[in-house]
């Protein structure tokens, strides 16, 4: 018993860390639509209050207008991307046979390898093309059942996603309309005061984290789009946006798109395009590796190494969602520890 009393602070901090992990692992996924709606309502609340004060517009109505504008913008972007994707699919599935195109790329790569390394192009080409045709035949024979199974799963997933988006939108309007009333009625509760003090620091840090990530992703999208355009891609914007999104995911990154493309350009003798792709990859690496720890760490008030560790540990504990939940868990634990020790409060 004396042992536990001696180290009670450590046990309390360990209990807080464990509680945060369990909440993030099992409770937060169930509450995501409502949490996103509450966070969005909190961040746009100053704007809605100004509209109410000067234009006599109710926050709930402002929230609905905001949603219409946001959904309209996202729909336009989605339509543009789908149009680009449809053009790409039409090019390869209608105007060009993808198997012939890939075989031609393999032939060019084999000829380049023969010039550079002395490999016999005809033998290498025969082996690669034969294996590719076997693979294509197997895919053609099995893709239909898999596509049907996958389409049903995709339909269910889309249905769940649309339901979650609808609940989030409705919750956002409700939070915006009743935010001030909820705050006034709960302001007298001691638990509410502690929750507000805790949430204030966490929300400010989360807002900074989200803004920092958005800045980094937008910069990478811009760098990729510019590089792909000068490399001669007619779908530079589509590929740039998709590559920027992939870069936000651990392990994948921009390299999964740029490096194979770069290798093919070198083997085909397109050294100018390869050089531009290499510069693009270097720019994306600098943006992510240099700016992320500094920018995100500055927003969170944490050392860059702690941010990197929280992302890595978060992915191990929570899966892909750990990219976001890892740093957030660290923030919540930090604020709860400070709440436990009044002398360290901000």
Q: Higher pLDDT residue, 88 or 232? A: 232
Q: How far is CA 255 from the centre of its chain?
A: 16
- Exposed/middle/buried for residue 125 (C-beta within 10 Å: 0-12, 13-18, 19+): buried
Q: Which residue carries 């099992």 as its tokens?
A: 26
Please compute the mean of the pLDDT values over residues 65-86 and round it to a whole number.
Answer: 84
60 Cβ neighbours under 8 A, 6+ residues apart: 173, 174, 176, 177
How much is the pTM? 0.62
Cα 181 from Cα 188, distance rounded (Å) = 13
Residue 168 has pLDDT above 80, yes or no: yes
- Helix-helix angle 121-186:59-90, to 10 degrees: 170
Residue boundaries of the structural domains of the chain: 196-302
Question: Residue 101 carries which DSSP code?
Answer: H
Q: Give residue 92's pLDDT.
A: 60
For 312, the 3-state DSSP assignment is helix
Structure tokens at 114: 């023969």
CB 157 within 8 A of CB 151: no
CB 198 within 8 A of CB 336: yes
List pLDDT tens digits, range 28-62. Answer: 888 888 888 888 888 888 888 888 888 888 888 89
Q: Which of 42, 89, 98, 88 is nearest to 233 (CA)?
A: 88
Angle at 99 between CA 93 and CA 105, to 5 degrees: 115
List pLDDT tens digits, range 265-301. Answer: 877 778 888 899 999 999 988 887 777 767 666 666 6
């Amino acid at each position: 018993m004396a042992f536990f009393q001696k180290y009670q602070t450590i046990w309390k901090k360990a209990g807080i860390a464990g509680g945060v992990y369990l909440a993030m692992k099992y409770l937060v996924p169930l509450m995501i639509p409502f949490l996103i709606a509450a966070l969005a309502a909190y961040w746009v609340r100053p704007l809605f209050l100004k509209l109410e004060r000067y234009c006599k517009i109710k926050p709930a109505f402002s929230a609905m207008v905001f949603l219409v504008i946001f959904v309209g913008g996202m729909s336009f972007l989605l339509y543009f991307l789908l149009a680009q994707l449809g053009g790409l699919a039409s090019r390869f599935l209608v105007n060009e046979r993808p198997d012939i195109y890939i075989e031609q790329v393999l032939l060019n790569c084999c000829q380049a390898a023969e010039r550079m390394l002395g490999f016999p192009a005809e033998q290498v080409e025969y082996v690669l093309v034969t294996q590719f045709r076997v693979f294509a035949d197997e895919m053609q024979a099995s893709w239909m059942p898999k596509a049907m199974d996958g389409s049903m799963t995709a339909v269910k997933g889309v249905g769940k996603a649309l339901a979650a988006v609808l609940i989030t939108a409705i919750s956002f309007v409700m939070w915006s309309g009743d935010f001030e009333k909820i705050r006034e009625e709960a302001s007298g509760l001691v638990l509410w005061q502690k929750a507000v003090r805790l949430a204030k620091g966490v929300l400010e840090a989360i807002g900074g984290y989200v803004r920092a990530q958005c800045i980094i992703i937008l910069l990478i999208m811009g760098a990729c789009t510019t590089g792909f355009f000068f490399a001669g891609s007619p779908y530079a914007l589509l590929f740039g946006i998709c590559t920027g999104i992939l870069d936000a995911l651990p392990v994948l990154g921009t390299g999964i798109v740029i490096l194979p493309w770069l290798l093919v350009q070198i083997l085909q003798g397109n050294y100018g395009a390869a050089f531009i792709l290499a510069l693009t990859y270097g720019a994306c690496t600098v943006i992510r590796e240099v700016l992320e720890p500094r920018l995100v760490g500055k927003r969170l008030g944490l050392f860059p190494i702690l941010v990197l560790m929280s992302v890595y540990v978060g992915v191990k504990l929570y899966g892909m969602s750990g990219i976001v939940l890892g740093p957030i868990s660290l923030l919540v634990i930090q604020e709860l520890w400070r709440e436990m020790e009044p002398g360290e409060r901000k």
